[in-house]
Structure 1
Amino acid sequence: MGSHVSKSPTETSSANAINNLHYTTDQLSSYEAACKLDADLQTFDTTLQARTNNVINALAAGVEVRALSFDSLKEVTECLLEMNQEVVKVILDCKKDIWKNQELFELVEEYFENSLKTLDFCSALEKCLKSARDRQLLVHIALQHFEEEEKGEFGYFKTLEELRSFKNLGDPFTDDFFQIFQSVYKQQMLMLEKLHSKKNKLDKKLKCIHAWRKVSSIIFAATFAAVLICSVVAAAMAAPPVAAALAAATSVPLGSMGRWIDSLLKNYENAVKGQKEVINCMSVGTYITIKDLDNIRVLVDKLEIEIESLLTSADFACINEKGVRFAVDEIKKKLVVFMKNVEELGAQADNCSRDIRRARTVILQRIIKHPNS
């Protein structure tokens, strides 16, 4: 019978530990490709290789006397700690539930509060428009009386009475209305600034994800080196139980760790993108509201000019009865423009309310559909 060569338990365990490193060719090739494309990763890889070689050489010196010196163990410990500082930093950062972001939550709350105040402004505008239509009705009645009294011989008593009523009502757009407008407009502008600032922060976070993916490659390489070092340590210590335990530990597919970290980064990226979607929706909604308010202000200014002109004509007729016919002719011309402006302003108020409600609905849908919500 031929001789049978057997291996010691330590040799078998340490060999299994190294052979059981489940790094696929694709994973290693991916890491090598990343190193070629990234100068920082190249620097890390060079440093990692140097550290690993130094540790293994130190361990090799200890193997000659079948024991590990304190300095050798110290070098192993320091190397592993250095390699894992960036790992800890990334994992802690990625494990934050960033969808539960207090700043974003407060922004969303503020947005909805501002939108409600703007809807209240639209209601106030509708009241002013109703008052404007009431004045328009008085002018119509005055013109009807004028047509009747123009044919008679008793003057323009009813015409002037209606014109005085119109004049006494004055401008339907009160100081309170403009104070509400200014307050709402200022809030919307401040909201847009806050959203712009938040969007810039999220853009920076998305850029950082590229750097974190670099660190993910670093984690892959650092883990590989750490397990390799630990395998050599177990063999050098000639402790079969330790070696066997390490062999079992290294049989865990380390590639899954990389996939786990990738999933963390992906979840982080999705959460940031989700936040950015909400911010973008609020920004668009706020921008549209501001434009609607700008249009409203322009139309209100035009309407105020027409009202002032009508009041001037009515005042002229009231203080100079001989000029009633001339004043009425002017009022007829101005009333057409006045009515058109009232209708345009009413339509713009409706658009503003509709745009606000639509934006609120879209934002709520984004929040509800967010994968991490």
Structure 2
Amino acid sequence: MPQYDAIILGAGAAGLMCAAVAGQRGRRVLLLDHASEVGKKILISGGGRCNFTNIHTAPDRYLSANPHFAKSALGRYTAQDFLALVERHGIAWHEKTLGQLFCDGPARQIVDLLLYECAQGQVEIRTGRSVGAIDHADGRYTVGADAAPALVIATGGPSIPKMGATGFAYDLARRFGLKVVEPRPALVPLTLPPDQALFRELSGVATDVIARAGKAAFPEAALFTHRGLSGPAILQISSYWRHGEPIQIDFLPGRPANWLAEAKRANPRTTLRKTLADALPGRLAETLAEQLALPGELANLPDRKLQEAERRLAGWPFLPNGSEGFAKAEVTIGGISTAELSSQTMEARKVPGLYAIGEAVDVTGWLGGYNFQWAWASGWAAAQVL
């Protein structure tokens, strides 16, 4: 029976990182994945350019039942650390917006980087085969015909099932007695009910907004779709939205109080529709003006009516009836409970030698490279002790 120091299940971002670092520390590592090739999610990320990290990475940009859990790993392996690795490999990159770093070329470069690092650590990689029976006895984990004293769960969550994603990590964790925080789709488009069909007729229209849910607020673009709402601002707020709760959209962020009354004084003959069309896409301006039902010239509208219109435009309520689910979710909220794991090593507290990293764990980042940084950092942290 081949013997290894560690068997890692899942050759995505976290699994590849963990394998490479552990291998280069002299550990004999076996990396297994049921997919035909490694890093499938990396290849499609960032529109094929891989948004590989975010320079503004901080623990408060992650959701978890324990908001402090991610601090240790993120503090010890930073965005600058991964960027240095990217630059060592001569990969050209650029900052897009809000600290998001992308490859200039294809995402394949990041996969090739990780495969090179794994090769440097003499990691054995097997793809395209299902994981056999997993057993644990006498301090050793047996996976099919292979065994090791350490087993790392790096199989991610169920988001994007067409890429082969499943809830395997949770089933395995439960088998070993670890609690799982109920998973739900995150960074996902939201759907609107039939009574808001008027807005679905705006499919394809995008504009910069502030999206809010509870205390969370994100200033980015929103996109109307034939099913509801999408775009970066909506994907971000979806992680904070809970079913049955409204979200609010500020369609004209940054406007001062009484800006409509000022517009009336500056140009009394203009209409609300024309005023909105000066700042918003035409179809959206028309729809909002119809909804506000303030026809005629601004000169004929009292200031209190204009103030009420301002309030509605600054906090337009939508009540989504759901999301587009794991099929369209970029990541998963929830997962293996952080209460079960050491934040220093990612090892299960009650099951020596069992580790969980990456998206399989109940740590979920914002849109924009944060989830890759968690994959690199958690994989690195586990690799220090394998």
**TM-score class normalised by the smaller sequence:** under 0.3
Return the index of the structure with the highest Cα Rg. 1
Q: Quick check: which one's helix share is greater? A: 1
Structure with higher strand content: 2
Q: TM-score, normalised by structure 1?
A: 0.26
Under a length normalisation based on structure 2, what TM-score does the superposition of the two structures give?
0.25
